[in-house]
Structure 1
Amino acid sequence: MNILIVDDEPLSRSELSYLLKQNITVTSVSEAEGIKDALGTLLAQKIDLIFLDISLNEENGFTLAKELKQLADPPLVIFATAYDKYALQAFDINAIDYVLKPFEQTRINQALKKANAALSNRRQLDKAGKIKTNPMTDFITLTAEEKTAVIKTKDIVSATVDNGFLTVTTNDNRTFVSHETLSWIKKQLDPQKFIQVHRSAIVCVDFIREIQPWFNHTFVLILTNDARVPVGRSFIKELKQRLNM
């Protein structure tokens, strides 16, 4: 299990990191002091579980927790904080546990046991879904402002999420905006045709015109409609395999 600790207190991060590494189910532990650092880590590597503090200097851990819902495969969240007054709010956004400081090995192990069970259940559900059903269709519908658009999936160039809004662009340069998530639309699209290239972007491989080098050894895709889509570091390997790079 790959874990990310998000806490603005170095000593607290160090203490929690030590306790986590005593558990045999933990593969790696990364640290971030704020939301920007956390998002950078999520772009660079696959994270299964986040231990998230609520008070992050001038930031709030709930902000990051809500952002995670936009990911196609979001990590689990355990809040790790000195305050017990936010527990109900934490579980309202589907946190799997709420651990209070100061941390104890027994309590951390209990939280990890919950996380491992949740991850195992998620994998089984994903496997069962792939075996039993095929949700992909020739069309998707997006509703916004009481209007529902019917879109042919073969016409979709890209789907991106920004500030809680999903934007779908088609090959005739039309755009459709709704409150659906990237996870939702990914399940509707043919994985042989579409690939996730960023935590907030999916593109159709048929509409990739060019690949250019980008910052920090990453890439940016130039699509046939001239849109530019960055490739997150953790998605580079799959992109290269799909495009025989």
Structure 2
Amino acid sequence: MKNIFLLKTGGSCMNVLLVDDEPLARDELAYLLQQNITVNTVFKAEGVKEALALLFAHHIDLVFLDISLNEENGFTLAKELHQLNTPPLVIFATAYDKYAVQAFDINAIDYVLKPFDQERINQALQKAKLALSTRLPQGPPSSPAPQKDNQFITLTNDERTVVIKTREILAATVENGELTIFTLDGKKYVSHETLVWLRSHLAAQHFIQVHRSAIVNIDNIRELQPWFNHTFILIMTNNQRIPVGRSYLKVLKTRLNM
């Protein structure tokens, strides 16, 4: 379950996401981060799906990422992050030292071993702060960079490139490794691109991820209906039905003012 801790502010502060399937490890690391003034907000996720939902819903500067996540692998998430417009920095936080070389091969900025201690976490945060200061333009917190809003995306298959207006996208789903984009005129386009790739090209004010395999145009949601086992399903304006993942429901309800 997602937890959010509001931490100290001061100077240049970072929003941090902890991804670890062990509750005690998450709580321990969150406590150590609380002691450092460079941290603003800490988000917590148990696995890749929940982490991606938080990354799409919030601005995250830094991810502390475990490698072993139940049946998932932290490297899967780390590789997906590179498809975002402004990917967060990654620090691996794990009990295993044998993956260090692989971690730095995918541009992790640090590798912290369990059990954690305050001095080592402070060192990692200082390294992240320096990396962010060289990567991001300096400016007051009240003046964020404008959000990317691409007017078009292109899909190329079999030497044919299709141009799609992003505002005409109604929904997109992934099944068996294929991305299918549904448009307002009733057409659909299939690609081998990922959902993360598509999400990085869409404006957050108009689109929202509602399931690990689905993104929808929030302006074309008609109904949110209860489904089985206390879950929900979206009915779009074209009557398409999109399931809502449990870990995405809270963010969706907030966007819909529910």
In 2, Cα distance between equivalents of 1:97 and 1:163: 34
Q: Secondary structure in 2 aligned to 1:23?
A: coil
Where does residue 4 of structure 1 map in the other structure? Answer: 18
Counterpart among 86, 101, 110 of residue 123 in structure 2: 110
Where does residue 60 of structure 1 map in the other structure? Answer: 73
In 2, Cα distance between equivalents of 1:20 and 1:190: 31
Change (3 A) 1:237 1:144: same
In 1, Cα distance between equivalents of 2:67 and 2:92: 7
In 1, Cα distance between equivalents of 2:92 and 2:51: 18
Counterpart among 202, 207, 222 of residue 195 in structure 1: 207
Q: Secondary structure in 2 aligned to 1:110?
A: helix
Q: Secondary structure in 2 aligned to 1:115?
A: helix
In 2, Cα distance between equivalents of 1:144 and 1:117: 41
- Does structure 1 residue 95 correspond to structure 2 residue 95? no
| TM-score, length basis structure 1 | 0.68
Report matched runs for 1:5-44 at 5 Å: 5-8=19-22, 10=24, 12-27=25-40, 29=42, 35=47, 39-40=49-50, 43=53
Where does residue 91 of structure 2 map in the other structure? Answer: 78
State the 1:100 CA deviation.
2.3
In 2, Cα distance between equivalents of 1:128 and 1:28: 19
In 1, Cα distance between equivalents of 2:223 and 2:34: 42
1:194-233 deviation per Cα after TM superposition (whole angstroms, max 9, x unaligned): 2224365443344322233468988532112322232722
1:150-189 deviation per Cα after TM superposition (whole angstroms, max 9, x unaligned): 3344532113456764321113433223243445545655
Counterpart contact for 1:211–1:222, Cα < 8 Å: yes
Can you give the 5+ residue segments of structure 1 that lack an aligned partner in the other structure? none
Report matched runs for 1:126-205 at 5 Å: 127-128=144-145, 136-137=150-151, 139-161=152-174, 165-182=178-195, 184-186=197-199, 188-189=201-202, 194-198=206-210, 200=212, 201-205=214-218
When the two chains are superposed, the root-mean-square deviation of aligned CA atoms in Å is 4.1
Q: Secondary structure in 2 aligned to 1:136?
A: coil
| TM-score, length basis structure 2 | 0.65
Change (3 A) 1:58 1:136: closer
Instruction: Report the AA paired with residue 90 of structure 1.
Output: A
In 2, Cα distance between equivalents of 1:191 and 1:4: 22
Change (3 A) 1:124 1:213: farther
In 2, Cα distance between equivalents of 1:239 and 1:119: 33
- Does structure 1 residue 212 correspond to structure 2 residue 225? yes
In 2, Cα distance between equivalents of 1:135 and 1:74: 17
1:24-55 deviation per Cα after TM superposition (whole angstroms, max 9, x unaligned): 233455656x53xx634664775834322223
State the 1:79 CA deviation.
0.6
